[in-house]
Amino acid sequence: MHTHEHHHHKHHTSHRVLGWAILLTLGFALVEALGGYFAHSLALLGDAGHMASDAVALGIAAFASWIALRPPSHKHSYGFGRAEVIAAWASSLLMVIIALAVIVEAIKRIQQPSSVHSVPVMLIAVFGILLNVLLAGLISRSEKTLNIRAVLLHVVSDIVGTCAVLLSGIVIFFSHWALIDPLLSVLIGILIIISSVRLWRESMTVLMEGVPAHLNIKQVSQTMVRFEGVKAVHDVHIWTLSSGVTALSAHVNIKNITSWDDVLLGLKSTLKQQYDIDHITLQPEADNEECTPCYKL
């Protein structure tokens, strides 16, 4: 028997937010690129590249968010919600590539330092911080899908990067120590890689249909077994359909097949309340059957 509880996201607000974010990010990336070129600041140029990659990531996110709105079809019975997970995976991978490129360029600059004009660097950095804080505030009010979280990660990393640019401008202005510019660029790159890899692993877990990190399959199975009328459970599978939608399927060995309707309703309610599992498919059985391969309690 199947029970379906569909989770509906409010995508339209996200579309507007992503549209504004793309325009503002592209505009500021151009400002940073010009400022970095004329001020000879690698940190500013690196942040411009970072912002440009963010604009690409935002475009991917907007497209994925639009695709996710399409209803289920005969060929895609689960719908297109996982498009946002794929976008999060691609976005986090792009972040790692950009961060590595910035680190490589920073190492070259450490070996061959050059003078940096600090005043324009500081002015552009202050403007960038204000812009990114505004974007972060807008995006944080949106739906909390993996896709939107990936976008928010880009913006937050931009804030960190632009703060580092401001710091390098201040240090250079007062001490003329130009080496701070590439050193901070390396630090920014490392921080971005750490946060991006975390999101990449989470999106990979969804794509590989792994058990969500916040759930323990053994604990969920034991909860089902303790339910009145249930003798045993096997072939238990828990996975994420799309951001915010968890699915479970299992074979349930029951004491009395005539009581299945009551057992089904009770298990469905328990799994939803205790574990927030939305999409539940349970098969009643009088005796255990062998399954290969499957998780067994």
Predicted confidence (pLDDT) per residue in 21-43, tens digit: 888 888 888 998 898 888 888 77
* Judgement on whether residues 29 and 139 belong to the same structural domain of the protein: yes
- Residues near 145 by Cβ (< 8 Å), separated by ≥ 6? 9, 65, 84, 88, 242, 243, 244
Neighbour-count burial for 193-221, b at 16+ CB within 10 Å, e otherwise: bebbeebbebbebbeeeebbeebebeebb
pTM of the model: 0.69
Task: Say which range, 6-20, 124-138, 218-232, 262-276, has the weakest mean pLDDT.
Answer: 6-20
> Tokens 């701070």 — which residue?
180
- 102 assigned to some structural domain: yes
CATH code of the domain covering residue 262? 3.30.70.1350
Q: What is the pLDDT of residue 188?
A: 78
Query: How far is 286 from 294, CA to CA, in rounded Å?
Result: 19
At residue 281, does pLDDT exceed 90?
A: yes
* Judgement on whether residues 153 and 109 belong to the same structural domain of the protein: yes
Q: Which of 176, 207, 238 is the last residue of a domain?
A: 207
Picking from 62, 73, 86, the residue whose alpha carbon sits closest to that of residue 12 is 62
Q: What is the pLDDT of residue 291?
A: 56
Our count of domains for the chain comes to 2
At residue 5, does pLDDT exceed 50?
A: no
Q: What is the pLDDT of residue 294?
A: 60
Q: For residue 175, what are the domain limits?
A: 7-207
* Judgement on whether residues 65 and 200 belong to the same structural domain of the protein: yes
Picking from 173, 178, 268, the residue whose alpha carbon sits closest to that of residue 227 is 268
* Alpha-carbon distance values, 149 to 100, 140, 194, 213, 243 (Å): 21, 8, 15, 16, 10
- 202 assigned to some structural domain: yes
